[in-house]
Chain A
Amino acid sequence: MKKILTLSLSCFLVIAFFASCRKKVEETPPPPQVKEQPKVEKVEKPPVKEPILTEDEIFAKKSLEELNAEKPMMVILFDYDKFFIREDAKPILQNNADWMKKWETIKILIEGHCDERGTEDYNMALGEKRAKSAFDYLLSLGISSDRIKTISYGKSQPVDPGHNEIAWQKNRRDQFTIIEK
């Protein structure tokens, strides 16, 4: 009895062993798929840095409105009823000319204005004379005439609506506007 039991058990064990061996081979777990920690490749795009623009390029990107808002060319003022270029206007006109020489493609409009203490009609002529004075002065500083246009607004567009000497002086002016880049 014992011998049969021992024999059958050992046979069983042998069979089981071989069976499990085979099974082991068969049951080799498949290569891990999702469950295994994936190898992460960090994808990075190098940031595109704004290129350092040259002054020319900065200038080229601005619109006329933006350029004019920066007021690169200053206003000059005039005496009452007069249209000659005052001494205090000369350095301003020099700066305006320098700026125009730096940006050679710029074309400008010189606007002549008057204060309210002249009549509507005659002030149109006076405003134009004031624009012309600045025009002539810029020409004398070497700016070519085809870069400058003139207009008169007479007294129709004051910058200061007041009725006093300060307002009147502010209104007797030439304004310089960029009209073409």
Chain B
Amino acid sequence: MIAKKIITLSCLFLVSNFSLYPQQEVVMSIKEGMPLIHVAIPKFSVEDPSPEAKDAADILYKVISDDLKYSRVFSPLPKNYYNYIKPLDPDKILFNDWESIQAKLLIVGQVSKQDDKTIQFEAKFYDVKSERFIRGKTYQAEKSILRLAAHKFSNLMMETYGEPQIFTTKIAFISNRDGSNELYMMDYDGHNQTRLTFNQGKDYMPAWSTDGKSIAYTEFKGGNARLYIYNPFEGKRKLVFDRGTSFGPCFSPDSKKLAFCSTEDESNSEIYAAKSDGTNIKRLTFNKSADVSPSWSPNCREIAFTSDRSGSPQIYIMDAEGSNVRRRSFGGNYHDSPSWSPTGDRIIYVSRVQAVFDLYILNLRTDEIIKLTEGYARNESPCWSPDGRHIIFSSNRIGTIQLYSIDYDGANLKRLTSKGQNKLPDWSQK
């Protein structure tokens, strides 16, 4: 009898052990509140003594370290920890050493010069405790786009842990650094700030399409404020709406629809929704109040927006067809610019109190409100990163309007722009 029980139990034990250590590729998921994954990133080895390879290794190393530090998923080990153990030998990794300095993952990178223009970067990462290779890739890139290669590797690590790959995403924004308001874009970390429009008009309020290839925006020209969809990679532009003042576009995350505002009806700002190619336009709001700033929920079934139907601008939510309108902001007389988090459970918005604008995050499940910014400044136009951990916004705290990145809990504030005035940012999904 007891023998039977022992056999049954040991069988169960063996079976459960099998399922705990599957043979297929590891995909793990991160939940908020999980501790950061400590990653050891020893300096990348350089195969040949050329200065190009050395410079490339430095750039790749810095970008990957910065990306992982930014991620709020991984935590690169402090530099002095590496002094406690022997330097890395890629051909003979002493995993016990790395475990002793509390690394959970180890990144091994090798850089060599492929030819005059191209650098080859071989990157792998290992699970330290199980001494197992998890994933790796070899990249070949011209020197001018090494940052992109590094971002791709950081993305690979995020993807392995089931996370959105944010490091190659872009931010569209408006800048007047060349004279008047024009459309620009930059990497998520502020690098490669590139001008996109060179026309006579003044551009406003950009919004990325879901595939990250087009930007909807308003062009002020010749006494008109028309809404366009522009593909800067192909140089093609399409007119969406040219009646009234048209502005505030926002594509739905499922890439099917485009919401926007127009004052074509009696100069009263209303919200409209079209197909994402700009056709089949339907009106969603039908009242005398000003309705502005639409923002889709991640499941595309609802839209957050601003309306002054109560007498002052407040945050509301309605169904995607315009019905079931309910107010979500209270306790204040000026709320605007809602942005729905990709996690679905939070909306960030701007609250104005006596000429000071601060960002607040409303938790839709708990109704809890967190104040994200502090100080005597105008912080506005917030927009979430695709993984819902970071926010880009504009602020005039240093005297000119610049773009800043901040984490969902108020940590890691960083200014990204400096030339001219920069505002109205939008973060691409891809």
A interface residues, Cβ below 8 angstroms from B: 109, 111, 116-122, 124-129, 131-132, 135, 149-154, 156-157, 177, 179
Contacts and interface: CB of A to CB of B under 8 A. Distances in A.
A118 B308 CA distance: 14
A80 to B, nearest CB: 9
19 contacts: A117-B352, A119-B313, A119-B337, A119-B350, A119-B357, A119-B380, A120-B205, A120-B423, A122-B292, A124-B248, A124-B261, A125-B263, A126-B290, A128-B245, A131-B267, A135-B267, A152-B225, A156-B181, A157-B202
Contact of A132 (B266, B306, B313): B266
B380 A120 contact: yes
Interface in B362-381: 378, 380-381
Interface in B275-313: 290-293, 306, 308, 313
B221 to A, nearest CB: 11
Contacts of A111: 223
A152 B248 contact: no
Given A120-B424, A125-B291, 6 more contacts: A122-B336, A128-B269, A151-B223, A153-B225, A156-B220, A179-B223
B357 to A, nearest CB: 7
B343 interface: no
Nearest to A133: B267
A93 B424 CA distance: 34
Given A124-B245, A156-B181, A119 B267 contact: no
A177 B223 contact: yes
A2 to B, nearest CB: 118
A129 B224 CA distance: 16
Interface in B186-236: 202, 204-205, 220, 223-225
B355 interface: yes
B247 interface: yes
The main secondary structure of chain B at its interface with chain A is: strand
B223 A109 contact: yes
Most buried by B among A127, A154, A157, A179: A154
Contacts, number: 88
Contact of A151 (B245, B293, B308, B336): B245
Interface of B: 181, 202, 204-205, 220, 223-225, 244-245, 247-248, 261, 263, 266-269, 290-293, 306, 308, 313, 334, 336-337, 350, 352, 355, 357, 378, 380-381, 423-424
A126 B261 CA distance: 13
A125 B181 CA distance: 20
Contacts of B293: 121-122
B306 A121 contact: yes
Contacts of A109: 223
A128 B290 CA distance: 10
Contacts of A117: 352, 355, 378
Most buried by A among B181, B267, B268, B380: B267
Contacts of B245: 124, 127-128, 150-152
B267 A150 contact: yes
Contacts of B352: 117-119
Closest 8 pairs (CB-CB, A-B): A125-B290, A132-B267, A121-B293, A125-B269, A119-B336, A121-B292, A128-B263, A152-B245
Contacts of B204: 156
Most buried by B among A131, A151, A157: A151
A160 B324 CA distance: 42
A132 B264 CA distance: 11
Contacts of B357: 119
Contact of B263 (A116, A152, A156): A152
A132 B336 CA distance: 22
A118 B268 CA distance: 18
